[in-house]
Amino acid sequence: MDIENIKKIMEIEALVHFAKNLNECNVHEKYFVLSKSLMAEVVPRWNKSNNKFKGERKAYYFSAEFLMGRALSNNIINLSFKSDILNLLDELGMNFNNIEEAEEDAALGNGGLGRLAACFLDSAATLDYPLYGYGIRYQYGLFKQAIEDGFQIETADNWLEHGDPWSIENRDEAVIVSYSDQNVLAIPFDTPIIGYGGNTINTLRLWKSESLVSLDFEKFNNYEYDASVKQKNDAENISKVLYPNDMDREGKKLRLRQQYFFVSASLQDLVRKYKKSHTTINDFSKFHSIQLNDTHPAVAIPELMRILTIQETIEWDKAWQIVTETFSYTNHTILAEALEEWPIELYKELLPNIYKIIEKINIKLKEQLIHKGISSKNIYQYEIISSHNNIRMAYLSIYGSHSVNGVARLHTEILKDTQLNNWYRIYPEKFNNKTNGITQRRWLLLSNPELSDLITELLGSDGWITDLKQIKVLEKYKDDEYVLNRFLDIKNTKKKQLAEYIKKHEGIEIDPNSLFDIQIKRFHEYKRQFLNALHILDLYFRIKENPNLDRVPQTFIFGGKAAPGYFRAKAIIKFINDIKNLIDEDPDVRDKLKVVFATNYRVTYGEKLFPAADLSEQISTAGKEASGTGNMKFMLNGALTIGTYDGANVEIVEEAGEENNFIFGLRVEDIKEIEDSYDPIYYYENVEGLKRVMDTLIDGTFNDAGTGFYRELYDSIIHGSHNSKPDAYFILKDFESYRDAQIKANTAYKDKLSWAKMCWMNLVNAGKFSSDRTVEDYANEIWHIKKHK
């Protein structure tokens, strides 16, 4: 790295972009010019890396989300530039921490789906695999969350407000995406994905939508100002916001436009590049493996068929062979409402040619099923176009792919045994498991340098950074008091850092000596933040009744967003904040119990929360969480899991030992036995304290400001709703078991060395959960790509 050159480029960038000398720039401008100067070092390596994979088979990750997190720190660590940059900034009188904080999180994803995609890109580049991401360059993220009077408030998340120095616009590679009612221009923006060590730099290509005509000049001259830019606005809306509200028909149309927009642009891009060096399209699948990250990009299957059969004039059966050899599909959920279905009428309206192709795919499927011996009366179980006039995107993905994988062993078995059992019976060879993982570069090396240094010291090398399995060797220190006390000191440091961050951002003081109990994830009923909240309220009442209750002070931290139209999830957020206020205003309890809502939870907040956690809340209803990756981040940072036998929790407990975690509640097989006869009223009336906390929703203890949120939430548990049974996620049934597990955890925390040993056993057994391992599995078993020699 040429430090003097970096300094010169920073000075030039400051003048060119901001007409200022470097020392006159504000912190956002300093971040921009520093990042731009680093891109001058990155781009030549990037070009070299792209060239070394020319002519080889590559993999492409199609995803509606890429939750990348901040780029600056991650990139300088992966490039081994950190010490040089710190020295340079010190010489220039600049504070690195302030510059780091000036970077906005790239708001290109929402939760685990998008963060997994980011981890995979990091791992592939680190391992020297050619994996490239394709998605949408959203102008605004899902939303920026604020809390007012306990309610979630959504505002625009303008992550591009101060520019994006890490991406390069390639307007000369734009393509046109066509709908029945409009043609739009897809402009690619490329971001370097820098592998650790900097040897391989792959690409995340994101598409921005623009109008082919930016202004209707005739209308403008006729004073029709709004009409003159309508075409421009309609086109730009496609890449405006991540997951626009689709509660009504117009929202659904925009979602469909988004999905088709990025897969059509991406496939056109791949076909165009391929044809530059090949005379026939027939070998397309030999050089391309495309992973569909859930069903959002499933329309890629008929779109590639359109390109092959209509544009390239390949006969149907050969085209279908290319398609199925190209695509593989990752299923991320067993929830029926998340298995996308699209109304036929929307496809006919916006994408009539694509709908015709889906119709033909469906006909071919039925012919194949009959050939396989499926009776005509059972074919409806497989049809892509259902009798309800919907297109089943999961079924299209399964039929159009050569591989279908779940994301944790339990999840995959549920898919095979129940949710997709019909498909598994006829295509067993397609189904496989790829347990999710996380990148230790961001979630330990970057976010917890103190613990990283201890691990490197004890191992005698930093090989774990690219081979996390090495940390298993450190199990020999599980009874070493010196090492365990050093671990506890590091945990205390991270808790103090989090406490300072929360005081700054939330205005709340928390006690670092208390037990930090953290649940951070998207708000959904099956994730059961409501169960956690009910327990806290029950604990509040128990402390009120017995002020001398023998327990360690406990700080409960929540973080996550509810979808704007998901009113029940928003009611739970309001309930948590009302409990928080109740406790804060009670001098008898507030020193023993604390609730914090981490506002606008995102990757940057997570980098503070995961290292500081003592207890990791993974309490979803058994069988509902496909995998989870937050559970892995907590484990890697030495937190203990309080959770159900669900998703990857099962494998976490296998690796670290059930005795080193707190497992409670119903298991999948238990739910199967009771779900038809389950009566939540019994538990509501007979479990001590449960009726009292449930009734606070309706007895005036809390006020939902006339929204009806609390009554509806109460009724959904006690009486059910028009589309679900009472207590559909078994909150009341699992309440007592969860409370018992919480008591065990609080008691265990009193013995610090014993607790530290349990934490250490989780940390050193986290090696399986590196995304490096997951990507190796995908590369070898699905994508069939090779590392560069």
Counting Cβ atoms within 10 Å, is residue 109 exposed (0-12), middle (13-18) or buried (19+)? Answer: buried
Q: Which two tokens stand for residue 5?
A: 């050159």
Instruction: Say if residues 137 and 262 touch (Cβ distance below 8 Å).
Output: no
Quick check: is 504 catalytic? no
Quick check: is 521 catalytic? yes
Tell me which H or E stretch contains 190: strand 183-194
Question: Which of 205, 633, 757, 768 is an active site residue?
Answer: 633
Among 691, 757, 749, 692, smallest CA distance to 550 is for 749
Neighbours of 265 (CB within 10 A): 28
Q: Please state the length of the chain.
A: 789
Alpha carbons 266 and 61: distance in angstroms, whole number: 10
Instruction: Say if residues 445 and 452 touch (Cβ distance below 8 Å).
Output: yes
Question: Which of 240, 442, 486, 527 is an active site residue?
Answer: 527
The residues near 299 (Cβ < 8 Å, ≥ 6 apart) are: 259, 260, 263, 351, 354, 393
Strand, helix or coil for residue 355:
helix
Residue 522: C-alpha distances to residues 67, 275, 327, 331, 332 (Å): 13, 42, 28, 18, 14
Instruction: Say if residues 274 and 287 touch (Cβ distance below 8 Å).
Output: yes
Instruction: Say if residues 84 and 75 touch (Cβ distance below 8 Å).
Output: no
Task: Tell the residue number behind the tokens 């400001």, with chain if given.
Answer: 705
Quick check: is 667 catalytic? no
Among 496, 480, 512, 520, smallest CA distance to 756 is for 480
Quick check: is 633 catalytic? yes
Alpha carbons 213 and 231: distance in angstroms, whole number: 7
Q: Which residues pair with 193 in a beta bridge?
A: 202
Strand, helix or coil for residue 617:
strand
Q: Which long-range contacts (CB under 8 A, 24 or more apart) does 372-376 make?
A: 372/426, 374/426
The residues near 302 (Cβ < 8 Å, ≥ 6 apart) are: 354, 357, 358, 361, 396
Question: Which of 306, 521, 580, 592 is an active site residue?
Answer: 521
Question: Which of 137, 486, 494, 522 is an active site residue?
Answer: 522
Alpha carbons 140 and 417: distance in angstroms, whole number: 40
Question: Which of 36, 58, 332, 574 is an active site residue?
Answer: 332
- Secondary structure (DSSP) of 584-606: HT-TTTTTTEEEEEETT--HHHH
Task: Tell the residue number behind the tokens 């580049």, with chain if given.
Answer: 125
- Secondary structure (DSSP) of 131-180: EEEEEE--SB-S-EEEEETTEEEEE---TTTT--TT-EE-GGG-EEEE-S
- Secondary structure (DSSP) of 285-305: HHHEEEEEESSTTTTHHHHHH
Residue 554 φ then ψ, to 5°:
-130, 130
Q: Which amino acid is at 229?
A: V
Alpha carbons 124 and 776: distance in angstroms, whole number: 8
Residue 361 φ then ψ, to 5°:
-60, -40
Question: Which of 126, 439, 604, 629 is an active site residue?
Answer: 629
Strand, helix or coil for residue 97:
helix
Alpha carbons 13 and 302: distance in angstroms, whole number: 45
Rg (CA), the chain: 27
Residue 433 φ then ψ, to 5°:
-110, 140
Instruction: Provide the Cα torsion 268, 273, 274, 279; round to 10°.
Output: 110
Tell me which H or E stretch contains 558: strand 554-559
Q: Which two tokens stand for residue 234?
A: 């309609």
**In which region does residue 408 sit, left (phi positive, over 0), alpha (psi from -120 to 50) or beta (all else)?**
beta
Which amino acids are annotated catalytic?
Answer: 332, 521-522, 527, 629, 633
